[in-house]
Every structure is written in structure tokens, then in C-alpha cells.
Amino acid sequence: MKLFKKIFKITALFFFLALVIIYYLFSSFSAPKSDKKIIGKFINSSIKPTITHETFASYKFRKLTIQKDTTLPTLVFVHGTIGSSTDFIEYMTDNLLLTKTNMVSYDRIGYNYKDSNSVQESIAFERDMLHDIIKNLHPKKTILVGYSYGGPIALAVKKEVKKVILLAPAVYSKVEPMPWAINLYKWKITRWLIPAIWKEASKEKISHKKDLQHFENNWKSSPNKILSIHGTNDWIVPFENSLFLQNQFPKEQFELTTIDNAGHGLIWSNFKEIKQQLLNQLD
């Protein structure tokens, strides 16, 4: 019996320490990175971004800009929930994309490094912020790239641009899933366990379904040509989101590209396919 208790205590301690380590690594991995760490990610890149700290509606945010030639088109990346400007590092360090495009990526409010502000829980706010970010870019050379929650933000822009590219866009409230893990944020007794950045993501996730209802029946009012890229195995933002859009737009305005068996992390797992799609839109 004593041996059993000893083994049980050691096993329990092992699992506790493992959970603490996993929690720490998970929290550190998902948290927004400092400017220094971001620049470190470009150490092997031929071109480094300019990092600026800007203001919109009294909120400060961080923007990464690579601008070499104003005659080139500019890819403007809009991250999802949870996410940050660094979600698109692989694209911003790709040698071929660097020769053919300028690039911009930014942290939405609530997702900046050590951000004291909360997420705005508003597509309209995010759309207006994106409008402000692209106001000095040539519209016919601007390509908006919205991933996940960033999809409806890019799609909501009413300014005419060269192209809107949606990557697994969360645009349809009726198929918006609500993961069980959200309850850990909803329950006050467990909320303290949630890393700060995931609390912000949880707020945005909970309000997103209702907020979409103000937009989803009017997506067709977009003046832009749209490409939606979606994986068939996406359970976080189901493929039906892109099918919903396909039914709203005429064929000459909307194109749907399917990636078989891809999940919601397609911007990382299917980098080569998405990179090629980006390159296809430059002409």
C-alpha cells in the first residue's frame, strides 16, 4: 500500500509539472511577440520590415511594413482570432514574394504586445481601422488578405481595391461553431486559468456570431473581386462559410479555391499552395 501511494504521488506530481510546462509553452507561444523578437524572425531574410507604432481612434497598434517599390502591388494581411501580425512571417520572408510585392501586416487592437486595451468585438470598427491603414496605398495596387476573423474585416471594406483574398473566412453566423473550451472563459471559477491573450480571443469569438448578422446578408455589396481559399477539413471555420459567399456573388466576381483535407491552419500547413494563389493575383 505504501509503495502504491508513493507511485501515485510521483505520478500525480509528474502530470502536474507536465501540465504547468505545457501551459507555459502554450501561453508563451500564442502571446504577441516584442519588436526585438519579431525582427529576429527576419534574421535570414534579405529585407527587414519597418516596425511602427501607430494610432487609430485613440488606440495604439503595431504595424509591420515592407515597401521597396511603389510600383509593386501591396499585400495587406489581416489576422484572425487568436492571432497577430507575425502569423504571416513565412510570407513576408519569402524571397519570391519579396521581389514581386510590398507587404503590410498589423496587430489588431487587443492583440498587440503587452496590449492594455481589450478587443473591440466589432467588424465595423476593424473595417474602419483597415480603411485607415490602406488610405495612402494605391487602391488598384492593394490586395487585402484576410484570414479567419480577418476575412469578414477585409470583405467589409467598401473601398475598391485590386483584389480581396479570403483565407478560411468566418463570414456566416449559422455555421459558426462554439468550441467547448470557450466555457473555461465563461465560467468565472476557471477564467483565471486562461492566458490573457486567449481571454481577448474568447470575447471576440463569443460576440462574433451576433456581429456577423449585421453583415452577412449584405456581403454581395462589396465592389471588389474576391478569391476565397478554404480547406475541406476545417472544423473551426467550416467550409460552408465559403459556399455561403459563393451563392451571394456572380461567378465573374467571386472565385472559390478548395484545398482538399486542409484544416483551419492552412496558412501554415499549405503555405506553398496559398503562396502560389497570391502570386497568381499579382498580374
What's the pLDDT score for residue 5? 59
What's the pLDDT score for residue 278? 97
Q: Is the previous residue joined to 82 through a cis bond, with omega within 30 degrees of 0?
A: yes
User: What pTM did the predictor assign?
Assistant: 0.90
Residue type, 2: K
Q: Grid coordinates representing 246?
A: 459563393
Domains in the chain: boundaries: 1-30, 33-280
Is a pLDDT exceeding 60 seen at residue 12?
A: no
pLDDT digits (tens, 9 = 90+) for 124-154: 999 999 999 999 999 999 999 999 999 999 9
What's the pLDDT score for residue 27? 52
What's the pLDDT score for residue 23? 43
| Mean pLDDT, rounded, for 80-102 | 95
Is a pLDDT exceeding 90 seen at residue 279?
A: yes
Is a pLDDT exceeding 80 seen at residue 50?
A: yes
Share of the chain above pLDDT 90, in %: 75
H/E run at residue 221: none
Tell how far CA 49 is from the center of its chain. 19
Is a pLDDT exceeding 80 seen at residue 7?
A: no
Is a pLDDT exceeding 90 seen at residue 93?
A: yes
Bigger pLDDT: 177 or 164? 164
Is a pLDDT exceeding 80 seen at residue 24?
A: no
Task: Please report the DSSP string for 92-107 in residue order.
Answer: HT-HHHHHH-EEEEEP
Give the whole-angstrom CA distance, residue 255 versus residue 242.
10
Give the whole-angstrom CA distance, residue 276 versus residue 228.
14
Q: Helices in the chain by DSSP H: which ranges?
A: 2-30, 35-40, 89-92, 95-100, 123-133, 150-156, 182-186, 188-191, 196-212, 240-246, 266-269, 271-280
Bigger pLDDT: 3 or 244? 244
Is a pLDDT exceeding 70 seen at residue 236?
A: yes
Weakest mean pLDDT among 4-13, 39-48, 229-238: 4-13
pLDDT digits (tens, 9 = 90+) for 172-222: 999 998 888 888 888 889 888 888 888 888 999 999 999 999 999 999 999
Q: From 3.20.20.30, 1.10.3720.10, 3.40.50.1820, 3.40.50.620, which CATH number describes the 33-280 domain?
A: 3.40.50.1820
Is a pLDDT exceeding 70 seen at residue 25?
A: no
What's the pLDDT score for residue 195? 84
